[in-house]
Chain A
Amino acid sequence: MPCGIKLEPAKELSLKQPIATLPAPKTLPVPKMFAPLRRKKAGTAAILNAARTAGIVDELDGKPLEEKLMWFAAAETRVLIAVCFDEDPMTSAEQAVLRESASRIAAGLELAVRACGASVGKIAAANQKEVQRVQKDCSGTMFLTAGGRYPALVLLRRALSETGRKAGFLGGQACLALSDAADRGLAQSETVVTVAGDGARRWKNCRARLGTPIGEVLSAGEPLPETALAVVGASVNGRSVTDLSGPVTATTRCVLAMKRPPRRTVLPCIGCGRCQRACPRGILPWMILQQMESGSPDPFRLFNVERCVRCEACSVVCPSQINLAAAVARAEKFKEGKCNP
């Protein structure tokens, strides 16, 4: 029985157009330049130094790339994977970046592999079609494809860990930034953000300067005046914002305009077991909910709650529209002794 859930992807519209570059706000400083590396000779220390000087942040988890590479080296990671697909059904930023600059991602990945002493680097694309599209641009790079089920990255990680090989994951845009830093001496100053949602007239991918207000990115999608909800991050597990002056960061994957907030009539759990099948981390969300609702949860029955990755697949599939992810998060806090049930 496969884990995860099937979500209808809505990426074609935003992938149709090339990535548009948004004008940088005048208040932001001009990005710094420094001396590029000589690629052929650059050793581990030089590459790590370039990653630090360029201030590269991995968009997958918001951690500095240099730290991640050092950690991979310490853990003796064998395979390094550049994630060039988007888990979220409405986001297509990584996919668009892969289509546009596959060769530079491959070059950045090669540098990262050298920096952490891994044996091989692979690019993970959304599907076989994407691989065929970019294969001719970067010969000699290995590809692998992510499954079609949400959350694809978590499921890919799980599938790889079952094979027993240690794999490390990097963001595609972080690889691109590393290649730019090494070749042209550019600091990481931009990120690609998808603008979509039923409240946006034009769906597209925008290249925005880091620190651009979210409102400016949103207005590039020409939001309808009746837009009631602005979501940052992802359509499944993102967060809604009411203040549009917040900055775009390296981890901002998408900005969505929604015409109306999701309407939920929460019903009691009917025990269908869909959340259990959806969870990629082996949690039994229905049991967690039962335990938390009972008022005196038994910590021995709150299995695996500490492994939750907040993908919210359980909340999406629940036919009773219960916010199971919130119950799991509460159970995790309770298990750590940080709150009452």
Chain B
Amino acid sequence: MTLTNAAPPYVKSEFTVSSMMHSMLAALLALLVIPVAHYGLRPLVAAGASVLTALLCRILFRLFRGKGGSVSEASVLVTGLMVPMLLPLNTPLWLPCTASAFAVLVALEPFGGFGRNPFNPAAAGVAFVSLCWPKRVFSYFDPSQPASFPAFGAGVFHVAQSPAEILKQGFKPEILPLDMLWGNFPGPLGSTLILVIGACGLLLFLTGAGKAETTLCFLGAAALIAAAFPRILCSPLTSVKYEIMSGSLLFCSVFMVTDPVTSPRTFPGRCLYGAFAGAMTMAFRWFGAYEQGACFALLVANAAAPVIDSAVFRLRGWEGAAA
């Protein structure tokens, strides 16, 4: 028996960062099941290319900085997998790759890697490509028309207006409710499957990987604004239905707003942050140049998170004495 010394504690809870990231990965992969069933390997190839780019960028950055560290850190995979979910399937493969490279090289690693990033990297990457190539990011194929995508290269498809764009123009999108729930309408790859996203959200909240209060406040604020200031001539409830289900709003509310690193650390802070992000999303939809503003709104809310936290500290009397 050779004994060594080690610091306590000698027991560990099951919940770790990697288990959290694994449930995130599982939830994101579940979003790919229906697209793969419909369109073959293309969604998997897009996701794989984006994940590989993210990993490569991380390895290169680490080598360049002369730092060690585990290459297989799951948070990079989560970022890489989140990016193609926010982009349409019919974009060329380099677009998600560029977005995830931007996410890792600009929004994640320079700040010190996962845990120290002030902005959600996936949101930053998608915002970057939305600004650079808006035509490609906001042109969606019509899933109700026949479409085929080879694993690589351009596919054959009809372009259609997404409900978010129709709303932006001030018209009412005519989509059957059941089609909306099953994601049978033009939109980003992973963000149209309303039912699957809901199930994934439930999984994340039950495993403790995400905080439900942020999502609820986000959706609540967005719904409230949609009901109070509808963009189209219709009943408040119809407005709420289309605003929540169109675009990447629901995906952001489940997968991106709940990210613990970039959200405030206090419970009231998180509620406020969620509500603020929801309100910002709706503001971007009202006044923004593009049909979708969830990623931009999230970045603004990320920037506000430390301020929200210190406001909560002040309210609770946790603030240090003024110097």
Residues of A within 8 A of B (CB): 5, 7, 89-90, 223, 225-231, 235-242, 244, 256, 258, 261-262, 265, 267-274, 284, 286-287, 298-301, 303, 312, 315-317, 319-321, 323, 325-326
Given known contacts A270-B261, A319-B17, A261 and B4 CB-to-CB distance under 8 angstroms = yes
Among residues 1 to 60 in chain B, which have CB atoms less than 8 Å away from a CB atom of chain A? 1-13, 15-17, 19-20
Cβ-defined contact, B17 with A262, below 8 A: no
Residue of B nearest to A230 (CB): B3
Given known contacts A235-B10, A315-B9, A319-B20, A267 and B115 CB-to-CB distance under 8 angstroms = yes
30 contacts between A and B (CB under 8 A): A7-B11, A89-B11, A223-B1, A228-B4, A229-B6, A231-B8, A240-B3, A240-B4, A256-B10, A258-B10, A262-B10, A268-B114, A269-B115, A270-B260, A270-B261, A271-B260, A271-B265, A273-B260, A273-B265, A273-B267, A274-B15, A286-B265, A287-B265, A287-B318, A299-B320, A300-B321, A301-B318, A316-B11, A325-B8, A325-B9
**CB-contact partner of A270 in B6, B115, B318, under 8 A:** B115
B145 contacts chain A at the CB level, 8 A cutoff? no
Given known contacts A229-B3, A273-B265, A301-B318, A267 and B8 CB-to-CB distance under 8 angstroms = no
Chain A residues touching B, majority SS:
loop
Cβ-defined contact, B3 with A228, below 8 A: yes
Q: Which residues of B contact A267 (CB under 8 A)?
A: 17, 114-115
B113 contacts chain A at the CB level, 8 A cutoff? yes
Residue of A nearest to B115 (CB): A268
Q: Which residues of A contact B13 (CB under 8 A)?
A: 5, 7, 316-317, 319
Q: Which residues of A contact B116 (CB under 8 A)?
A: 268
B263 contacts chain A at the CB level, 8 A cutoff? yes
Q: How far is the CA of A229 from the CA of B2 in the complex (A)?
A: 8
Known A300-B319, A319-B19; further 17 A-B contacts with Cβ < 8 A = A228-B2, A229-B4, A240-B4, A240-B5, A261-B4, A269-B115, A270-B114, A271-B263, A271-B264, A273-B267, A274-B15, A287-B265, A303-B318, A316-B11, A317-B13, A319-B13, A320-B17
Q: Which residues of A contact B17 (CB under 8 A)?
A: 267, 270, 319-320
**CB-contact partner of B15 in A236, A262, A315, A317, under 8 A:** A317
Nearest Cβ on chain B to A148's Cβ, whole angstroms = 15
Q: Which residues of A contact B9 (CB under 8 A)?
A: 235-237, 262, 312, 315-316, 325
Instruction: Name, among B13, B20, B70, the residue most crowded by chain A CB atoms within 10 Å (CB to CB).
Output: B13
Q: How far is the CA of A231 from the CA of B8 in the complex (A)?
A: 9
Q: Which residues of A contact B114 (CB under 8 A)?
A: 267-268, 270
How many inter-chain contacts with C-beta < 8 Å in the A-B complex? 116
Nearest Cβ on chain A to B248's Cβ, whole angstroms = 23
B112 contacts chain A at the CB level, 8 A cutoff? yes
Cβ-defined contact, A320 with B115, below 8 A: yes
Cβ-defined contact, B6 with A261, below 8 A: yes
Cβ-defined contact, A272 with B260, below 8 A: yes
Q: How far is the CA of A239 from the CA of B8 in the complex (A)?
A: 6
Q: How far is the CA of A90 from the CA of B266 in the complex (A)?
A: 33
Q: How far is the CA of A317 from the CA of B319 in the complex (A)?
A: 26
Q: How far is the CA of A128 from the CA of B15 in the complex (A)?
A: 29
Cβ-defined contact, B112 with A268, below 8 A: yes
Cβ-defined contact, A262 with B263, below 8 A: no
Residue of B nearest to A320 (CB): B17
Q: How far is the CA of A274 from the CA of B267 in the complex (A)?
A: 11
Cβ-defined contact, B7 with A326, below 8 A: yes
Q: How far is the CA of A270 from the CA of B263 in the complex (A)?
A: 9
Nearest Cβ on chain B to A215's Cβ, whole angstroms = 9
Among residues 222 to 263 in chain B, which have CB atoms less than 8 Å away from a CB atom of chain A? 260-261, 263
Residue of A nearest to B265 (CB): A271
Given known contacts A225-B1, A298-B320, A316-B11, A262 and B115 CB-to-CB distance under 8 angstroms = no
Cβ-defined contact, A315 with B320, below 8 A: no
Q: How far is the CA of A225 from the CA of B2 in the complex (A)?
A: 9
Nearest Cβ on chain B to A286's Cβ, whole angstroms = 6
Given known contacts A301-B320, A319-B20, A241 and B12 CB-to-CB distance under 8 angstroms = no
Nearest Cβ on chain A to B9's Cβ, whole angstroms = 5
Nearest Cβ on chain A to B129's Cβ, whole angstroms = 26
Q: How far is the CA of A284 from the CA of B267 in the complex (A)?
A: 13
**CB-contact partner of A242 in B5, B8, B12, under 8 A:** B5
Q: How far is the CA of A241 from the CA of B5 in the complex (A)?
A: 7
Q: Which residues of A contact B267 (CB under 8 A)?
A: 273
Q: Which residues of B contact A303 (CB under 8 A)?
A: 318
Given known contacts A227-B1, A242-B4, A271-B263, A316 and B12 CB-to-CB distance under 8 angstroms = yes
Q: How far is the CA of A50 from the CA of B39 in the complex (A)?
A: 85
6 closest A-B pairs (Cβ-Cβ)? A268-B115, A300-B320, A261-B6, A298-B320, A271-B265, A242-B3
Nearest Cβ on chain B to A8's Cβ, whole angstroms = 9
Q: How far is the CA of A219 from the CA of B6 in the complex (A)?
A: 21
Q: How far is the CA of A284 from the CA of B265 in the complex (A)?
A: 11
**CB-contact partner of A237 in B8, B112, B113, B319, under 8 A:** B8
